[in-house]
């Protein structure tokens, strides 16, 4: 009797994932079972597209987050493990981003934000910064004009951050990507580049001060909503914030937006290795924690 190996992997993966879902759901508490990845990620990396679609359907039986945000950390360390240049790690990270966006679209997530370049990254070596700027210029134009993901799913690109710190060439690439996709009505992709939360908040406070001085806003009306309206990220607060690479810190990213009810997940995997199974586990964890999160919010 012949055996379809890939089919066997698919059913094994499905069984393992459903079992994990049922066991954790039975606990009825907001925990993360990410250590389970070590045992099962190798299996899910071989599953078929059909199986992933089944798992997406399972997730969509529950609540789906409106906004998920990623600190895409670990590209350089990934490159070192592969004996490659740092630039190659960033390229691998971009390729994985397109896969993650495809999963997010299939799940029905309407807003995705990514921390592509921090303001303090300008302190890195001149060669690496130049390589990252070149990569950003090329990939922004590629996303806007040649990306099947953007075309197929009608993705709108928004570049968020302090553009005055970018060269004219990179600024033009950002403007081009936004202009080319501004009429798209699908998922909104916020590319934070170059960005820091304190810079964003400072900019918002400065705008509030200018509006008060111009008589557009009364001092007594200034509250958190007035400040929030002037933040650079024009999306709902993130439901989930994911940081890869095992580092447990925010690195000055979306501090204002993540302060209330965001479900935080720090996972010990480099961004280029972030897999569908990691995504599945994170979403299950959020679904289980959601009731308590929103109860605390209320």
Active-site residue numbers? Answer: 73, 121
Q: Report the C-alpha gap between 52 and 258 in whole angstroms.
A: 29
Beta sheet of 188-192, edge-to-edge order? 156-160, 188-192, 111-115, 67-71, 240-243, 263-266
Q: Report the C-alpha gap between 101 and 276 in whole angstroms.
A: 11
Residue whose C-alpha is closest to residue 266's, from 287, 238, 247, 283? 247
Residues whose CB falls within 8 Å of the CB of residue 169, separated by 6 or more in sequence, listed in order: 133, 137
Q: What three-state secondary structure class fits 184? A: coil
Q: Report the C-alpha gap between 51 and 109 in whole angstroms.
A: 19
Q: Report the C-alpha gap between 206 and 225 in whole angstroms.
A: 15
Q: Would you say 96 and 126 are in contact if contact means Cβ atoms under 8 Å apart?
A: no
DSSP H helical segments within 28-115, as ranges? 37-44, 49-59, 75-81, 86-107
Residue 212: its H or E element: helix 197-213
Q: What three-state secondary structure class fits 268? A: coil
Alpha-carbon separation of residue 12 from 44, 179, 263 (angstroms): 9, 45, 29
Residue whose C-alpha is closest to residue 70's, from 228, 200, 254, 229? 254
């Amino acid at each position: 009797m012949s055996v379809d190996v890939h089919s066997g992997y698919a059913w094994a993966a499905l069984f393992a994932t459903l079992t994990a879902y049922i066991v954790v759901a039975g606990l009825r508490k907001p925990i993360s079972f990410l250590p389970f990845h070590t045992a099962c990620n190798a299996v899910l990396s071989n599953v078929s597209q059909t199986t992933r679609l089944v798992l997406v359907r399972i997730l969509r039986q529950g609540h789906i987050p409106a906004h998920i945000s990623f600190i895409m950390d670990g590209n350089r360390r990934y490159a070192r493990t592969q004996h490659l240049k740092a630039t190659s790690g960033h390229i691998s990270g971009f390729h994985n981003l397109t896969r993650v966006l495809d999963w997010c679209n299939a799940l029905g997530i309407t807003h995705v934000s990514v921390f592509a370049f921090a303001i303090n990254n300008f302190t890195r070596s001149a060669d690496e910064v130049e390589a990252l700027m070149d990569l950003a210029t090329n990939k922004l134009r590629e996303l806007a004009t040649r990306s099947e993901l953007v075309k197929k799913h009608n993705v709108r690109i928004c570049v968020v951050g302090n553009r005055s710190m970018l060269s004219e060439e990179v600024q033009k690439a950002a403007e081009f990507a936004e202009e080319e996709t501004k009429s798209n009505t699908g998922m909104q992709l916020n590319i934070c580049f170059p960005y820091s939360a304190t810079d964003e908040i400072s900019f918002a406070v400065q705008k509030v001060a200018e509006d008060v001085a111009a008589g557009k806003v009364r001092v007594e009306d200034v509250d958190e909503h007035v400040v929030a309206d002037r933040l650079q990220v024009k999306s709902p607060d993130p439901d989930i914030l994911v940081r890869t690479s095992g580092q447990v810190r925010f690195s000055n990213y979306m501090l204002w937006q993540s302060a209330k009810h965001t479900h935080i997940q720090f996972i010990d995997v480099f961004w280029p290795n972030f897999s569908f199974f990691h995504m599945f586990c994170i979403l299950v964890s959020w679904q289980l924690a959601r009731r308590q999160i929103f109860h605390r919010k209320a």
